[in-house]
Structure 1
Amino acid sequence: MRQCELQRIKGWFYLPEASDEKVPGILSWEPSKGATLELIGGFSPGPDYRENPEGTGCVSHQIVGDVRSGTIFGVSDSGTPLSIWEAQRGNYTAGMSGQVREEFWESGWVCVGVHIGSSRDPDFSKATLVLDELYYLVDDARFCPPQWAKIEGVDSPGELLENGTRLTPYILPVVGGYRAECVHAETDETRYSISTRATRPWASVATEAMPALKLDMMTQKQRRGQVIELHVGADASIRLHEGAVGSAADFTDRMGPVLDLIRLATFSTADVEAISLKTTGDEDVSLLSRIGEPANPVKTHEPAAVVFDFSDVSLDSYLKTWKKLTQGRQADYAWSVIVGHCGYSPEIVEQYVSQVLAAAEGFHTWCLNAGGAELNPRLKALHNMLPAEVGSRLNLDVDKWADWAVWARNHVAHGGSKRQRFIKDSLEILAVAKSVHLVTYLVVLCELGVPDEKICDALKDHPRLSAMVSYCEVVNQIHASRVP
C-alpha cells in the first residue's frame, strides 16, 4: 500500500482489550495529515455522574466519559487486519443520555496487514522504503539500446513501400528481475542496502509451455490499442545486526540516514512512496506514516536534479560521514535543520533567516567541532572551507556577506539590531538567507567528499541550486539605510 496516496478503508474497529465490542467506521489516510478514523458510534463510555451537592439528583461535568489513547485494531471489509497506533480521540457527537453517535480519532501511523499492539513491540525483522529518485543514485542500467531485428512475417524491413508501409522490427533488451543489495553498508547497529528491480515476464510451467502466454500476461488491452509497460525502480532496506528483531519505532528511527541521503543528493525533499515491514512470521505488511514527504513517482525526472550518486560518494563513506557529523544532540539538531531545508523554505522570510543562520552556526560549532567564536568568523570559516573553484562561482563579497548575515540574524532573532542601519527590501533579506543556506549546504557536500567538478556542475545546471547562486550577487549589492 502506497502512503503517498489517499486511502479510504471501511471496516470494523475495536480496542484490543475489548475485542467483542466492534464499531463500524471508515479509516482515511491523507499523506500530509495522517490517519483519521470516523466511527459510527464510538469507544467512549457514558459520563461519570456524582451526587449533586445541592441534593437534587446526580450531575456530571462530562458529555461522554474518558477513553484511553493508544492502539486501535480493525479489520477491513476485505478481511485485512489494521493496527492504528498512538491514536488520539478528537471530536464526537452524543445524545442527551451520553450515548456516542459519532467519534473521530487521529493518528500519525497505521500498520496494514497485521495486528500488533504497539509501535514498540519487537515484531519485525526488516523495513523497506521506496523513495523518489533513489534509482538514479545507483549505477544499474536495466534498459539496453534497441536492436534492429529480423522477425518472421515482416518483408523488406525498414523500406518504404509504395502504399506507405514501413515496418521496422526491433528488440528492446531488458534486464528484468530483482537485484538484491547492489549497494550496501553497515553502521555499528544497522545494515543498509539498496536493491533494484525491473519488469520481467511471469515464469511458470504454463508460460514456459506456451511462450505467447507471457506476452499476453504483460499486455494491457486498452480501447486505443495494446500497451506493455516496462519500469525500473529501487528500494532501500534496513536490517538490524545479526538478524535481530525490532519494533516499528526501531526501524523508523533508523530511516533518517536514508532520507537525509536523498535530500542531500538531490537538494530536494525526501519523497516516500511506500514503506513495508517484514514480520517475524515472514509476512510483508505496509506502514502508513508521515515519515518524509509525499512522493510523486510518475513526475518526470530531471537528470540535472541529482547532485551526486554512489559513483561519487559510496554508501559506506556517506554513513561514516553522517555518523561523524551527527554525534551528540546539538550536532544532530543542527544537521536536521540543514538537511530539512533541502527543497524547502518557510513562507515567512524572517523564519527562514532565523533557521538557516542557526543551522550554519550550529553546524560549524557542533558538527565540525569548531572552537568558540562569534557568528561572523564562523560564517567566514565556512566559506573558506569551499574549494577555490566553487567559491569563485559564488563570487561572494565574503566580508559584506558575513556582516549582513549577522545583522539579519540579530534583526529577526534578537528583537532587532543595535546597529543603526536597515535593509528596506525584503528580497535582500531573503538573499542573505539563501546565500547562507547555500554555503552551508556546499560545505556539507565537501565533507561528504563530493568531487569539486560535480559541485560546480550542480551550481551551473541544477534547477534549484543554479537559482540560488544568483542571490549571492544580490547580497553583494546591498546598500544600508539609516534608521531614522
Structure 2
Amino acid sequence: MSQTTTGWTLTDNPLNLDESGEWAGFWWLPDAPDEQVPGVLRYDPEAGLSLSLIGAFEDRITSNPFPGVTAFHEGNRNWDVIHGAAEQREITLLGCVPNSSKRTIGARVKSPDKQTITATIAIIGARVRGQNDAVFSAAEVSVEDLGLWAASSVFEGFLGASDGKPDGTGSISVKPVETQTVMVDGTEFRLVHRHTLPFFEQRKHGTVGRMRDTAFVRVAPTGLYSLSRALETASLVQDLIALATHRAAGVIWLRLEVAGTKSASSSDRPMLRRSADVLYSPTARGDHDAKAVDHHRVLFTCESLPFQEIVPRWCEAHGRLQAAINMILSLRYAPARYVENNLLTVVGAAEVLHRGLGIDEKPFSAAEFKAMRDAMLKQVPEEHQGRFKAAIRNDPTLRDRLYDLAARPDQDAIARLMPDVDRWASRTTKARNDLAHEGKTPNHSFDELIAIVEVTTAVVILNVLHELGLPGERQREILQQHPQLRVTASNAREWLADRLADS
C-alpha cells in the first residue's frame, strides 16, 4: 500500500501519559443519564485519575426490609462505568471507586454534597459501555524508542561546506516516509510517521525553530475494536520495543479511532476521523521528551528485521512464548533487588521457554520409562507408592533444557557469550536447586550468581531473537557491540570458566 507521512498540527496531538490534564463538565451513571452532576476530572501521571464532583452519586449500599424503611449496610457501591461531557468531548471512566463522600443533609448551612471518585481508565473522546464494547475501528500507540527501532525519519539534514570546511550554511528538510504495512490474521499493522508543522518561537536569546517527527504503530482489524483488545495491542507493541532495545519501554500515548465517524472535508484535505485518547497505567509509562536510548544498546531495528517480517513473527511468538517473554521482560520493567529472586525468575523463564519451543523431548521412550518405573515401585512399600510415583517424571532435567537452549542460537554468538556451556549449565542448575531445595546457595559467591543470572538472561533473549529470525551475523554483532552484553561475556569468562572448577 503506497501511503506516506502526513503533517500533524498541535491540536492533533494525542494526550501523553506523562502529562497532567483537567476536564470540567457534567457526569452521570449510564442507567441514569438525566441525573447529571457537575465536576472536574483530573489526571496526574503519578496519582492517576480523580473525579471531583459538586454533588454525589449514591454510593451507600441500601436495602428496604419493610415498606418505607431503608437500611444502610457496610461498604460502598462501586461503578464499572461513569459517563461525562467535558471540554466539548465525550468521556468514559472505567473502574470507578468512591474515595470520599461528604454529605450535608441536615447541616445548618445548606451547601452541595461533595464526592471524590478514582478511576482506572479514562477514554477522552468516546462514550462506551465497557472495556469489551467494540465501537472502535483502529488503535494507534506510541512507545519510547519506537522511532529509533523504526530506523527511519522524515528529516534530512544538510551542512554546507566550502573547500572541505563547514561554511555556516545548511538546511533541515522533510521528506515523507512511506508507511509500511503488513496483514496478520486479518489485522492490518502500519508503521507510520507523522510530523508537526514548522514552528518558530521567539526567545530572549534568539529564535528557535522546531518540528517533531513521531513514529507510531497503527493497528486496524477487519471488524470493530474494543478497548480491551486495544490495551492488548499496546502491550504487544510495548513488549516488542522492550525486547528490541533490551530495556523497559514505556507507552507514551494510546489513541483509538471511533468507528463510523468520518467528517465532511474539502476536496483538497484528507477525510478525518474522530479519535479518543486513553489515559491508563501501562506496565511502564513513557517520557515523551526524554532522550532516546543509545543506538549501540538496541538489539535489532527494522533494518535487521524489516517491519513486514518482524510483526507476523512477533505476533505468533508472543502468543506462544508469552509466559517466558513476560518473565524475562520483568527483569527490565521491575528488577528485583535481590539476586536470588532474579535467579529463580530467569531460570524459570528458561524452563518455560524450552517447553514453549516444542523441544521437550523425553529422556526415555514411554515403554522404557514405564518398565523402569514399575520396577522401582516394586521396591517401595504400598503406602508410599503414590507419592513415589508422582515424584518420578519422564522429563528433561534443568541441565538438559539449558544445553538445548544453548544449542539453538548462532553458535559463534554463544561462544562469545560464554567460554564453557558445560560449566554454565552445571553451575546454574546447582544454584537453582540449592536455592529451591535448601533455601540458600552456599556453594556460589554473589558475583557468580550475578554472572549466572546475566548469562542465562542473554541465552533466553538470544533464543527469542533466533525464533524471530534474527540473522546469525546480527546475533554476533550484538555480543560484540552491546555494552551490557559485553560486560556479561566478561563476567562469564571470569566466573563460569573451567579454571574455577569445584574443588
In the TM superposition, what whole-angstrom CA distance separates every residue of 1:99-133 from its partner, at most 9, and x where no partner exists?
A: 99554433332101122222211111111111221
Partner of 1:164: none
User: Are 1:457 and 2:477 matched, yes or no?
Assistant: yes
| SS in structure 1 at match of 2:147 | helix
Which of 98, 109, 132 is 2:121 aligned to? 109
Q: Quote how far apart the aligned CAs of 1:38 are.
A: 3.8
State how far apart, in whole Å, the 1-side matches of 2:488 and 2:482 are.
Answer: 10
Equivalent positions of 1:394-409 (< 5 A) are 394-409=417-432
Question: Could you state the TM-score of these two structures normalised by the residue count of structure 1?
Answer: 0.79
Structure 2: which amino acid aligns with 1:308? F
Does structure 1 retain, via aligned residues, the 8 Å contact 2:78–2:96? Answer: no
**Aligned pairs (5 A) from 1:37-186:** 37-46=51-60, 48=62, 62=73, 66-76=76-86, 78-92=87-101, 102-148=114-160, 168=167, 170-176=169-175, 179=177, 181=179, 183-186=180-183
Who is 2:365 aligned against?
A: none
The aligned counterpart of 1:295 is 286
For residues 3 and 42 of structure 1, what CA distance do their matches in structure 2 show? 28
| Residue 359 of structure 1, aligned match among 349, 367, 379 | 349
**1:387–1:37: structure 2 CA closer, same or farther, 3 Å change rule?**
same
244, 247, 258: which is aligned to 1:265? 244
Offset at residue 375 of structure 1 (A): 0.9
Residue by residue over 1:21-71, the C-alpha shift from the partner in whole angstroms, topping out at 9 and shown as x without a partner, is 33344433344664233445432355637789xxxxx895636x7424201
Q: Which residue of 1 aligns with 2:453?
A: 433
Q: Deviations over 1:242-262 (max 9, x none)?
A: xx2221222222334322221
Question: Corresponding residue for 2:264?
Answer: none
Stretch deviating more after TM superposition (13-22 or 219-228): 13-22
Q: CA deviation at 1:327?
A: 5.0
Q: Contact 1:132 / 1:273 at 8 angstroms: preserved in 2?
A: yes
Unaligned runs of 5+ in 2: 1-14, 262-272, 362-394
- 1:472 is aligned to 492
Give TM-score, length-normalised by structure 2: 0.76
Show the counterpart of 1:332.
322
Length, aligned pairs only: 436
Q: Kindly provide the amino acid, as one letter, of the partner of residue 297 in structure 2.
A: A
Q: Distance in 2 between matches of 1:199 and 1:176?
A: 13
Deviation track 1:359-394 (CA, whole Å, cap 9, x = no partner) reads 110001123443241111101111122323212222
C-alpha deviation, 1:2, in angstroms: 0.8
Give the aligned residue type for 1:190: T
Rate the CA distance shift 1:454–1:18 in 2: closer, same or farther, 3 A.
Answer: same
Q: CA deviation at 1:405?
A: 1.8
Name the residue aligned to 2:210.
229
Q: 2:232 aligns with which of 230, 253, 257?
A: 253
- The Cα of 1:234 is off from its aligned counterpart by 0.7
Residues 105 and 406 (structure 1 numbering): CA distance in 2 closer, same or farther, change over 3 Å?
A: farther
Structure 1 vs Structure 2 CA RMSD: 3.5
C-alpha displacement of 1:411: 3.9
* 1:2-21 mapped onto 2 (5 Å cutoff): 2-21=16-35
The residue type equivalent to 1:245 in the other structure is L
CA offsets per residue over residues 244-288 of structure 1, 9 Å max, x none? 222122222233432222112111122211111110113012111
> Identical aligned pairs, as a percentage?
22
Q: Say if 1:44 and 1:66, in contact at 8 Å, map to a contact too.
A: no
Q: Secondary structure at the match of 2:229?
A: helix
Question: Distance in 1 between the 2:29 and 2:40 partners?
Answer: 15
Q: Distance in 2 between matches of 1:343 and 1:461?
A: 23
Q: Which amino acid aligns with 1:433?
A: V
For the residues of structure 2 that align with 1:49 and 1:315, how far apart are their CA atoms?
A: 58
Write the distance in 1 (CA, Å) between the matches of 2:172 and 2:61: 69
Q: Could you tell me which amino acid in structure 2 is paired with residue 364 of structure 1?
A: H
SS in structure 2 of the partner of residue 146 of structure 1: strand
Give me the whole-angstrom Cα distance separating, in 2, the residues matched to 1:6 and 1:464.
35
In the TM superposition, residue 237 of structure 1 has moved relative to its aligned partner by 0.2
The letter of the residue matching 1:346 is: A
SS in 1 for 2:463: helix
Quote the residue 2:415 is aligned against: 392
Counterpart of 1:296, as a letter, is: D
Secondary structure class of the residue paired with 1:255: helix
Q: Is the 8 A contact 2:284 2:333 kept in 1?
A: no
Match of 1:389, SS state, is helix
Structure 2 counterpart of 1:277: 256
- Pair 1:305 & 2:297 matched: yes
- Return the alpha-carbon distance in structure 2 between the equivalents of residues 88 and 465 of structure 1: 45
